Amino acid sequence: MTIPQDKIDEIRERINIVEIISEYVSLKKSGKNHTGLCPFHSEKTPSFTVNDEKQIFYCFGCNTGGNAFTFLMRQENLSFPEAIRTLARKAGIDIPQDRRPTTEENQRELMFLANHAASEYYHQYLLTAPDAEKARLYIKGRGLKPETIKSFKIGYAPPGRNTLSNFLIKKGISLELAEKAGLINRHGNNNYDRFKNRVMFPISDTRGRVIGFGGRAMGNEEPKYLNSPTSPLFKKGEVVYGMHQAKGPASAKGFVLVVEGYFDLLMLHQYGFPNAVATLGTALTTEHLRKLKGYTKEIYTLFDSDKAGIAAAMRSLPMFVEEDMRARVVIIPADMDPDEILVKKGAVVMAEYIQDAKPVMDFFLGTVRAKFNINTSDGKLSFLEEVAPYIAAMKNVAERGIYIEKIAGMLHIGPDVILSTIRAAVEPAPRKGMQQHTPPASEIISKGHSTKAEETILKVILAYPRLYTEAVGSAVEMFETDFLKEAGKLIVDTLRKANGEKIEVSHIVDLANSENAKNWLLKASVEDDESIKEEPQKILEDCCKKVLMDVRLKKDRTALLKTLKESEKKGDMDSFKAAAESYLSIKRGC
């Protein structure tokens, strides 16, 4: 039975989000908001904000936000109905109980049960079934020992199309729930096992509950790796393999090793590196980092040293910078995988590679340096353009200064030139009433500083809807940052209907399709930006001009590069500095 909407609305009106969250987080009053340390990521300075009036929370550190239902779902790992019923009890509201075993409230536990049964089935099949000999030989050939197989419950999915389905039926487990858990596919009255003739890796949450599986083909079948589909229990981009086993050692050692493959992870554990996890063969994501931050102080990436591995390490840099996460890159020979090194060279050699791991920023600078001829002005400028946003986004001032010195040494240019160039690349021109702010690294890198102008436009028209004009709407249409363009369109559409009246940000959050747009709107709903309160109309006009100017100024690079080359011919670094600053000033519309 579905919980009636009027009951949900009644619960929403009765509960107080500050009281609910205070049971988990120590909150302090700060102006219109309450602040505290975020329960969803590790931090020393409070960035978690709760707005009593709007009944919304938002963390400026990890960009998580929502209402009381959302908070409880994430904090207690509850389904929506479970969160509703929990808050209903707190509010003293009676909700009819639904006793049917297939309701959403019970489905999660039943899916855990189905996954556990499947895990045991695959594991026992590997150990005992005669037709699993091929899988046993394959696993032995990969170097896994019996104790590793047992510890991680490695299994084998037989080639039959519905052997698991039949097993689950005998166990009395609903095939409907097995399908939702990603174990089988159903077409009409026919059931088909999702995993067939594959080595199976059960994937557990931090509590040791099986939430999904990874299956490895033993021959040339495609795909080589097949993971469980997204389900109420499993989201591939948020889960790391081996976290249940690695969380204790990672906390004790102070760092976690991140690899890309199941076998790399298993071999590391087998050879004495229990603080290792794997990303299920996918790229490292921000969600992965936030999961890991609660257990460790530093991340060591251990990817293959081929082009793909280097690219993966490079892609991770913006996330490490934005999350203010210490990270290192373990560099191994280009012709060897991590598990090959362990088998052929042993744990001592691997430990040496780990000991020699480079800070991720050093690895990045070396990789970018190899792309350009930094003996020329063109190469110097190209190098600076690529690295400046990352350096500027670093939150540790002392660390930023160290890297400015390093770059100065690489380019044989004074640190003052590097510093002024970095500032020109990412900072807005000073303006009375405008608070200086460095946008997140990923946004600076992808869109340049225009992101700040776009954000400011939206903040102003949210705070002062009467200032909205169709000229502002035209500027919004030219936004380059996708999630701000989406948020802007929702705001503009709402303002057009509201005829200058105040609008509630929380009302349009649910209309957003992307998580980035939703998070920005939630952030805007709790943020009290002092920088737009002085001369808001002038700020709005200037930011609209900035957005429109950025569109026109993209064609100026060639002319400035020519000027830079001419300045080098003079042999005068002052000329280079002036030309570089002129280029970057024009680039930001000054």
What is the 3-class SS of 120-181, one letter each residue?
HHHHHHHHHCHHHHHHHHHHHHCCCCHHHHHHCCCEEECCCCCHHHHHHHHCCCCHHHHHHC
Per-residue pLDDT tens for 176-205? 999 999 999 988 888 999 999 999 999 998
Q: For residues 128 and 437, which has the higher predicted lDDT (pLDDT)?
A: 128
Tokens of 125: 């099949």
**Of 364-368, 443-447, 475-479, 578-582, where does mean pLDDT reach its minimum?**
443-447
Collect all residues with Cβ–Cβ distance below 8 Å to 140 and sequence separation of at least 6: none
Closest to 117 (Cα-Cα) out of 180, 228, 227, 209: 209
The reported pLDDT for the residue numbered 393 is 83
Q: Residue 285 — φ and ψ, nearest 5°? A: -115, 165
11 class by beta-carbon count within 10 Å (0-12 exposed, 13-18 middle, 19+ buried): buried
Q: For residues 175 and 441, which has the higher predicted lDDT (pLDDT)?
A: 175
The sign of the dihedral angle between the CA atoms of 587, 588, 589, 590 is negative
The Cα 227–Cα 231 span in angstroms is 11
Strands 255-259 and 298-301: parallel
Q: For residues 571 and 364, which has the higher predicted lDDT (pLDDT)?
A: 364
pLDDT at residue 321 is higher than 50? yes
pLDDT at residue 104 is higher than 70? no
| Contact in structure between 87 and 68 (CB atoms under 8 Å) | yes
| Contact in structure between 419 and 296 (CB atoms under 8 Å) | no
Q: Residue 313 — φ and ψ, nearest 5°? A: -65, -40
Strands 326-329 and 298-301: parallel
The reported pLDDT for the residue numbered 99 is 42
Q: Is 380 helix (H, G, I), strand (E, B) or coil?
A: helix
Average per-residue pLDDT for the chain: 84
pTM of the model: 0.60
The Cα 117–Cα 115 span in angstroms is 5
Strand order in the sheet with 298-301: 276-278, 255-259, 298-301, 326-329, 358-359
Question: What sections of 197-324 are H helices per DSSP?
Answer: 243-253, 262-270, 286-293, 307-322
Tokens of 14: 């009765």
**Of 7-16, 352-361, 436-445, where does mean pLDDT reach its minimum?**
436-445
**Of 18-27, 35-44, 418-427, where does mean pLDDT reach its minimum?**
418-427
Tokens of 242: 């081996």
The reported pLDDT for the residue numbered 583 is 60
The Cα 215–Cα 167 span in angstroms is 19
